[in-house]
Every structure is written in C-alpha cells, then in structure tokens.
C-alpha cells in the first residue's frame, strides 16, 4: 500500500506523459465530456451559450466572414462554433478526437441541412490539401499540448493557411497560473462519477512547475478491475512567450485580447486571445 501511495503522489517531469486519448476516445468519459459541452449554462468543456454567441458575432466581424471564407476549427467538439459559422455562410471544416462529439455535430448539421466537413481524428495527425482563410482553436486547447506538439501544430497551421491567413486561439495567462495551488485530494467517485459508471476511488494531485509555467492535474482512478492514470497538462503564457513562439513558427501576432469575444487585453485577465497572421515569404 505504501509503495502504491508513493507512486500515486509521484511528480513526473513536465509533459513526460500524454494521455489525451483517455479523455477523448474512452466511450464513457467521452460521453461525459459531451454532456459538459452541451450544458449551455456552464464554462467547462465549452463556454456558456451567451459567451459563444458574443464570440461568434465578434469573429464574423473581425475576420469579415462571408460565403467565400474557409474556416477550420481544430478541436471543434459537438459543433457549437462550426454550426453557427456555417449558418452564417462560411465554408467550414471541423476536426475532433472524440467520435461521440463528431457524430453529434454531424447529426445537427444534417438536421439543419448544413454542408460542414467533419473529421474524427487527432488534429496532431490531421493532413489536408485544403487551404483556409482562418483557423480557430478555442477553449484553451493549445495549453494542453507539449512544446513539441505546439510546434507541430503551428507548422500545420502555417501549411494549411492561405497567404495572409490567420489563426485565432486562446490560452491561459500567468495571472491564472499564479491563482493555482498545489494540492492532493482523495475522493470516492471523484468528480461525481465522471471517470466510470462503476464504483471507483480517485486521487487528484495538482503539481506546479515554476520554471516551465506548467500545471499538471494528475488523476489516478482505481476501479475493481483496473487502475488508470490521466495526465491533464496546462501551459500558461505571457505576452512575450507568445510573441516568441509564434514568431519562431512563421507567424506575426496582430493583436492580443482578453478573450475570443474581442474584449480589450488586460494584464489582469486569466486568458489571452491571439490573432496571428501567417508570414508571407
């Protein structure tokens, strides 16, 4: 028992393990994630309905979205943004890891008779001959990627964009990092049964990595027949680190905002939204 507890509370190196598949492809947890996506009143897997509507109006205006605009949504979930952008006439492609989310989005597009190209795939492995005017990545998904994965994704963005095309994404700020604290929690059916339909015991260890400005939520889920460990990494950014990252990967940052609804940037904000344009060589 002592050795097991030592293992549960062990701090890995930053981004040492990557378990996104556990969240997005496991049949049970992916259904629970979809439930959170579709809960219009909370900001969990997706933003609340009011914010999404504000955000969409701003995106349409900021990027002059018309019937000629080709947009790719990386991590599109159940289509909360893709559906409404398609309704406004844009040419939309949505990519997501979760089969449950993609199937839900496809059903909605069929009901509404919208022509949306949905692809169920890990977006780190996504390839296409299509070229887009705008790529969006929403709900701070970018923060969950390791430095190597971020570099891979920015290279893909650069390849997939038309000359002068733009990226819109949001990240967590260092202000948000400072508000997080390390702790260890043990709970029966941790997160109200999120991890399994069967009885289980859950440990949550929150680790802070000061040098890297990274936080890990490490979940150890102990069921009768198996034990799982899920690593939820979050990178936090400053304006300078974002400038350096995008400039080193073929982009010029045009503007910073406090959110993807176009709120003016404030150093006190917990999030930073970035509009970056592909460099024309």
How confident is the model at residue 27, as a pLDDT? 78
How confident is the model at residue 135, as a pLDDT? 98
Residues in contact with 15: Cβ distance below 8 Å, sequence separation at least 6, in sequence order: 146, 147, 214, 233
How confident is the model at residue 29, as a pLDDT? 83
Rg (CA), the chain: 19
How confident is the model at residue 44, as a pLDDT? 46
How confident is the model at residue 45, as a pLDDT? 44
Q: Which whole-number Å values give the CA distances from 147 to 100, 177, 238, in the listed order?
A: 28, 17, 15
Task: Set out the domains of the chain in order of their start, with CATH numbers.
Answer: 2-16+176-234 (no CATH), 27-171+237-278 (3.40.50.150)
How confident is the model at residue 47, as a pLDDT? 64
Pairing of strands 161-173, 227-237: parallel
How confident is the model at residue 42, as a pLDDT? 46
Q: Please, how many CA atoms are within 13 Å of residue 212, restricted to the half-sphere of its CB?
A: 16
Residue 265, token pair as written in the block: 């940037």
How confident is the model at residue 39, as a pLDDT? 66
* Residue 102 near residue 73, CB atoms below 8 Å: no
How confident is the model at residue 40, as a pLDDT? 55
Q: Which whole-number Å values give the CA distances from 262 to 13, 147, 151, 182, in the listed order?
A: 35, 27, 25, 32
How confident is the model at residue 26, as a pLDDT? 77
Residues in contact with 75: Cβ distance below 8 Å, sequence separation at least 6, in sequence order: 95, 96, 97, 123, 137, 138, 139, 141
pLDDT less than 70: residues of the chain: 36-47, 281
Burial degree of 228 (CB within 10 A; 0-12, 13-18, 19+):
middle
Beta-bridge partner residues of 274? 169, 256
């Amino acid at each position: 028992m002592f050795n097991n507890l030592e293992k549960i509370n062990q701090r890995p190196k930053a981004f040492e393990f990557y378990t996104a598949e556990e969240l997005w492809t496991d049949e049970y947890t992916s259904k629970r994630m979809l439930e959170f996506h579709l809960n219009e009143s909370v900001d969990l897997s997706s933003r609340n309905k009011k914010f999404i509507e504000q955000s969409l109006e701003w995106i349409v205006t900021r990027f002059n979205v018309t019937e000629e605009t080709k947009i790719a949504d990386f991590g599109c979930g159940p289509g909360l943004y893709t559906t409404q952008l398609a309704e406004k006439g844009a040419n939309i492609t949505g990519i997501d890891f979760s089969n449950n989310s993609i199937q839900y989005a496809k059903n909605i597009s069929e009901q509404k008779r919208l022509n949306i190209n949905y692809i169920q795939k890990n977006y780190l492995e996504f390839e296409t001959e299509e070229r887009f005017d705008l790529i969006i990545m929403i709900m701070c998904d970018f923060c969950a990627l390791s430095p190597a994965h971020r570099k891979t994704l920015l290279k893909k963005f650069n390849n997939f964009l038309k000359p002068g095309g733009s990226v819109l994404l949001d990240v967590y700020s260092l202000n948000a990092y400072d508000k997080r604290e390390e702790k260890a929690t043990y709970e029966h059916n941790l997160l109200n049964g999120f991890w399994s339909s069967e009885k289980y015991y859950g440990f949550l260890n929150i680790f802070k990595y000061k040098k890297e400005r990274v936080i890990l939520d490490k979940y150890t889920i102990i069921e009768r027949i198996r034990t799982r460990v899920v690593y939820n990494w979050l990178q936090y950014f400053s304006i300078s680190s974002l400038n350096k990252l995008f400039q080193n990967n073929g982009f010029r940052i045009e503007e910073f905002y406090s959110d993807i609804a176009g709120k003016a940037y404030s150093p006190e904000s917990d999030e930073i939204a970035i509009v970056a344009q592909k460099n024309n060589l």
